[in-house]
Amino acid sequence: MADIGIDLNRFILEEERKHPNATGSLTQALMSIEAASKIIASQVRKAGLAGILGKAGKTNVQGEEVQKLDELSNEILIDMLSDSGEFYALASEELDEPIYPEKGKNAKYVIAFDPLDGSSNIDVNVSIGTIFSIHRRIGDGVENFLQEGYKQVAAGYIIYGSSTMFVFSTGNGVNGFTLDPSVGMFLLSHPDMKLPEKGKIYSINEANEKKWIDENLKKFIDALKDEGYTSRYIGSMVADVHRTLIKGGIFGYPADKKNVNGKLRLLYEASPMSFLITQAGGKATTGKEDILNIKPHEIHQRVPVFLGSKKEIDQLLSFIGS
């Protein structure tokens, strides 16, 4: 296990040394994400002073209102990741189609990202975040993004809250780094993160209960209440999953009568978060199948999401599993 306080760049380099055949491409790719996240974190901290709070006056490909800070974060990530030369293609939740950077035409990796998850909470100063998912390049077009989640070579998120944290996995456990603004570095604060086998918190928007398609889901939630579970729901996936990763329990965003296929995006949210939760000893499911086994059929595909500690996911499946 790495020492508490080691900086993120050194940690990534030391992990690279464990693989004699590594070329350094993934290292540089992760460092480019880190650099972009520092700029976004700076903008988030001063958003209210810089006039970048509020709506941008347009909608994204998902039909959602774009926030000014959302748009800015997207531009920062596109610029930094494209300039790194380590990504053959970039897919953003905010864009209709992938981008193919000129500098990345010989790159080994592709990346999908949600530039600012939870952006509807920006104006009220609730924790928000950036989510990313990296796959190996397997072709020349969109097929690069239509790979199962278990094939991810790295995934993670950056949460902008009371502190800024960079949490990621390259398939060898999950580690969390906290940004020390006095030195401008992410330092290891949460090594080898593991979910408790059982938690005591459930995180789901119960206001949508009457719209849930599976009536057994309410019975599951009632069972958790009978066991003394506490409800905690922020409405920012990064924040809700971050709490679940640390404290255990279950996070859910089920299908409902308005979003019959679920609302969360497979590539940008569900798959990378499921990778992290699984790497930390938890489980992730749509209620019918393991999220990491789903082969996407298009880049903006949505799925129901349930992820968390093993006990709660197994109990959920006993209620709603087919």
Write out the two tokens for 161: 């809250």
Q: What is the pLDDT of residues 14-58, one digit of tens each?
A: 888 887 777 889 999 999 999 999 999 988 887 655 555 555 445
Q: Are 250 and 277 in contact (CB under 8 A)?
A: no
50 Ramachandran zone, left/alpha/beta (phi>0; psi -120 to 50)? alpha
Higher pLDDT, 165 or 161: 165
Q: Are 171 and 279 in contact (CB under 8 A)?
A: yes
Write out the two tokens for 307: 């992820």
**DSSP bridge pairs for 190:** 176
Residue of 203, 196, 198, 178 lying closest to 188 (CA atoms): 178
Question: What local confidence, expressed as pLDDT, does residue 75 receive?
Answer: 94
For residues 150-185, one letter each, b for 16 or more C-beta atoms within 10 angstroms of the residue's C-beta and e for the rest, the string is: eebbbbbbbbbbeebbbbbbbeeebbbbbbeeeeeb
Round to whole Å and give the CA distance between 177 and 180.
9
* DSSP symbol at 285: E
Write out the two tokens for 201: 């918190």
Distance from first CA to last CA of the chain, Å, rounded?
39
For residue 254, report the phi and psi dihedrals to the nearest 5 degrees.
Answer: -80, 170
Residues 6+ apart with CB under 8 A from 205: 233, 235, 253
Enumerate domains of the chain plus CATH numbers. 8-190 (3.30.540.10), 201-320 (3.40.190.80)
Residue of 279, 278, 237 lying closest to 129 (CA atoms): 237
Residue 100, amino acid: Y
Task: Provide, rounded to the nearest whole percent, the portion of the chain with pLDDT above 70.
Answer: 93
- What angle is formed at CA 299 by the lines to CA 128 and CA 292, rounded to 5 degrees? 75
Round to whole Å and give the CA distance between 67 and 52.
8
Q: How many helices (H) and strands (E) does the chain have?
A: 8, 16
Q: How confident is the model at residue 322 (pLDDT cuts 50, 70, 90)?
A: low
Higher pLDDT, 73 or 322: 73
Where do we find the tokens 């040394």? 17
Q: Are 178 and 163 in contact (CB under 8 A)?
A: yes
Q: What is the pLDDT of residues 88-144, one digit of tens each?
A: 999 999 999 999 999 999 999 999 999 999 877 777 878 999 999 999 999 999 999
Question: What local confidence, expressed as pLDDT, does residue 118 receive?
Answer: 83
* DSSP symbol at 131: E
pLDDT score of 316 more than 90:
yes
pLDDT score of 65 more than 80:
no
